[in-house]
Structure 1
Amino acid sequence: MSMLGLFLGLVTACFWAISPILLKVGMRGVRREDVNPMRSFGFLLGMTLIALLTRSGGFVPNGALAAVMVVLNVVLGNYLGDQLYFGAIKELGVSRAVSVGSSYPLMVTLVSVLWLKERPGVLHLMATGLIVLGLVLLKMEPHREGERVYPIGGYIKALGAAACWGVSIPMTRWLVTAGGLSPVGANWWRSLTLVVVAWGLWFRGPGSRPERRRALARIPLKTWLILNVAGAIGLALGGYTFAVALTMSPASLITPITASSPIITALVAVAFMGERLARHQWIGVGMVVLGSAIIGAL
């Protein structure tokens, strides 16, 4: 296990904490099925710049299986998983959607053990559970009188997103360890694949109607810019540092650390946006920090 890998996991968490804030701003007035296609350009441009700056090799997949894995990785993680997540946010709100979606490290650990034959220790598993429970507490809202009943479909979508992310993350580790791709190469191909998949499905679906194409063309340039900056930060920079971390440490250890990104968002909101956390949410903060510290010390 590499301490540099764990540090890059924390860096990834920071990138993944900034991206949702930008997405929240950029999604105002934008249909959720339009978000992935719009932000995909930021992902591709960001990865192209990283490739040029790092001059990295490792762009040739190690056989047809690796090429297929890139496509499955994008479809599961960046398209289907994120689409389900956007739907969960619409139905449950950010707090509830994130609390359920934050269970994805458990899925990563399960898939990593069964497929990649990783063997996390008991303390690693306990720390993973501690981080997930802390995230759930962090995102739970205080009880209010007359609180609305949220649809079960929203919870199913959030769990579906967690499952998609949990399967796609071990795929990323396989690509950068056994698939013949470098972290830059793997993420550049993922970025190109997302552009093709997201826009291809959009034109076959919503974009097949002229009024939807006209509506997309009327979206302000500022909104396009915000969503693509979110794509560059969350998908390109975050995806790159995450892939590098996976070459140094097992996915079952890196993922719980990256899953702490909501805590960074919450702390920024408390420090700079005047938001408050309830007592149980501060307990959640402590559990996430403790779980991350345990993993970093092992």
Structure 2
Amino acid sequence: MTMITGILYALTSALGWGTASVLIKMGMKNRKAVTANIVRLYFVALLYIGVIILGGRVGDVTSLSARQLTIAFISAQFGFVIGDYFYFNALRIAGVSRTVPITSSYPLWAILWAYLFLGRSVTLNVIIGALLVFSAILIVRRAEEREHIEGKGFVFALLAPISWSLAITLLDYLSSSIDVFTLAAIRMIFAAVGVSVFLPRYAGDLKSLTLRELLILASAGILGLFIGQYAFVAAVSTIGSQIATPVTAINPIVSSTLAIIVLKEPPNSRILLGLILAVAGIVVISLG
């Protein structure tokens, strides 16, 4: 039952992330990705702070040790600042179709770190399921136009999933000693603090945002970084990062499927095949 609960949390996270991506695609076509990230992180950080204060959970945060807070801060920077910096630059240099297949390898890195550093057991089912999900993402992204990739773009694309996977491993380590909500909250707050280094560079773009764009980003933040991130932390806390991460990695397939339904983008056989492989991967993981 614990496995099913954890996988449901992971699927909720993937759905939240995938839906948030579609929302941003709908309303932020002419904006920079980092601008959207800054606004989402700030909004969700303030939302978490509000819930902490109004919900009487301040003590849960102040009772954390300096060591726990430091690890949470590092996890947030690897996940939402450093990793995303590499990812957005890889997208700019190499394009989506060349970047995403490389960055989608982060579940495989997370499985490796969980095995090496956390002593987690990794079953054959988890490995096979992760490879199926990885293959599904590759197939879906290959449906897009081909682009040439530069050496620098490749390096950035490789460093992004390594950064994300390290963030997940640190999150997994903390999940046994910090409750789910508090851990999700402090990571988002620390991420907002870290992303502030980009404010001077993107100040002009931030100032020109319209009310409609701000509302879209707020909605995307609630779905992706409040609900989605909370569900991901809950999944990791319940079944471990070595199982939760491959399941949540289907979020690009979720966003591609939603884009067909909501944005009326033309469907193709590769997306259907990718969806089938992703579902098969989740089923295999759940049986492990």
Fold agreement, TM-score > 0.5 = yes
Matched, 1:220 2:217: no
Percent of residue pairs identical: 24
1:296 and 1:55, CA in 2 relative to 1: closer, same or farther beyond 3 A?
Answer: farther
Residue 9 of structure 2 contacts residue 235 of structure 2 at CA under 8 Å; is this kept in 1? yes
Structure 2 counterpart of 1:63, from 62, 65, 68? 65
1:15 and 1:54, CA in 2 relative to 1: closer, same or farther beyond 3 A?
Answer: farther
Residue 183 of structure 1 corresponds to 180
Residue 230 of structure 1 corresponds to 220
**Distance (Å, rounded) in 1 between the aligned partners of 2:231 and 2:147:** 40
Q: Deviations over 1:208-246 (max 9, x none)?
A: xxxx64553232222223223222221121111111112
Residue 11 of structure 2 corresponds to 10
What SS does the aligned partner of 2:235 have?
Answer: helix
Structure 1 counterpart of 2:193, from 184, 192, 196? 196
What SS does the aligned partner of 1:5 have?
Answer: helix
Matched, 1:165 2:168: no
Any residues of structure 2 matched to 1:1-298 within 5 Å, and which?
Answer: 1-48=2-49, 51=52, 58-60=60-62, 62-141=64-143, 148-178=147-177, 181-199=178-196, 201-203=197-199, 205-206=200-201, 213-298=203-288
1:136 and 1:162, CA in 2 relative to 1: closer, same or farther beyond 3 A?
Answer: same
Where do 5+ consecutive residues of structure 2 fail to align? none
Deviation at 1:62, TM superposition (A): 4.5
**Distance (Å, rounded) in 1 between the aligned partners of 2:63 and 2:100:** 34
- Amino acid in structure 2 at the alignment position of 1:150: I
Greater mean alpha carbon deviation, residues 261-270 or residues 90-99: 90-99
**Distance (Å, rounded) in 2 between the aligned partners of 1:26 and 1:89:** 19
Deviation at 1:101, TM superposition (A): 1.5
Deviation at 1:285, TM superposition (A): 2.1
- Amino acid in structure 2 at the alignment position of 1:202: F
- Amino acid in structure 2 at the alignment position of 1:192: I
**Distance (Å, rounded) in 1 between the aligned partners of 2:265 and 2:216:** 23
1:272 and 1:86, CA in 2 relative to 1: closer, same or farther beyond 3 A?
Answer: same
**Distance (Å, rounded) in 1 between the aligned partners of 2:217 and 2:168:** 23
**Distance (Å, rounded) in 2 between the aligned partners of 1:249 and 1:61:** 25
Residue 94 of structure 2 contacts residue 147 of structure 2 at CA under 8 Å; is this kept in 1? no
Q: CA RMSD in A?
A: 2.5
Residue 15 of structure 1 contacts residue 237 of structure 1 at CA under 8 Å; is this kept in 2? yes
What SS does the aligned partner of 1:274 have?
Answer: coil
Residue 32 of structure 1 contacts residue 83 of structure 1 at CA under 8 Å; is this kept in 2? no
Count of residues paired in the alignment: 286
TM-score by length of 1: 0.86
**Distance (Å, rounded) in 1 between the aligned partners of 2:92 and 2:152:** 11
Deviation at 1:177, TM superposition (A): 0.8
**Distance (Å, rounded) in 1 between the aligned partners of 2:214 and 2:144:** 35
What SS does the aligned partner of 2:11 have?
Answer: helix
Q: Deviations over 1:72-94 (max 9, x none)?
A: 11111011111222223333443
TM-score by length of 2: 0.88
